[in-house]
Amino acid sequence: MAKPLQIAPYDPGWVLQFESERDRIERRLGKLACRIDHNGSTSVPELEAKPIIDIQVSVKQLQPIHAYARPLSTLGYVHMLHVDDVVCPFFHRPRKWPHTHHVHVVQFGGQEERRTLAFRDFLRDHREVAREYVALKKQLAALVNEADPSSRESYANAKSEFIDHVVQIALAAGYPRWL
């Protein structure tokens, strides 16, 4: 029987897990990493989420990919070749599902960096939108076979319309809130 994707209650320990992993990545990448941000649902206080820590690493240049892929591999991260590699190379650890960490590498100051942080910051500031997002995730997660990578990809794609809509609103409202 297929196991649905797990959406867990918010865990304040997610912040500590991010900080620990951020420090490991920062030590390994050094000056290659212009920013390292906690993103995704685990970065939004009180938001229910898949218990996977999403990390966005902003770099000055996405190419050559081996400049950061090799150091990340020494930390146990596996690069997943994907058409999105031109804007956001994706890495996960451990090698096999279930993953505990996802790393998304983006161009520092680029559109993908802004979109991701705008979405995160908007959800942090707008609890009602965050609740709508959780409801959607729970509805979709019930249809996902957690063990099937294509099913998990379908789950991610099914959230895109909601995310894109919120990102448009967030960017128009001046998000992300840069430090």
**Going from the N-terminus, what domains does the chain have, and what CATH number goes with each?**
13-172 (3.30.460.10)
* pLDDT given at position 1: 53
Cβ-Cβ contacts under 8 Å for 179 (sequence gap 6 or more)? none
Count of other CB atoms within 10 angstroms of residue 129: 17
pLDDT in tens, 43-88: 999 999 999 999 999 999 999 999 999 999 999 999 999 888 999 9
* CB-based contacts of 8, cutoff 8 Å, min separation 6: 48, 49, 50, 51
Length of the chain counted residue by residue: 179
Exposed, middle or buried, 95 (CB in 10 Å: 0-12/13-18/19+)? exposed
**Neighbouring C-beta atoms of residue 40, cutoff 10 Å:** 22
Query: What is the reported pLDDT for 178?
Result: 74
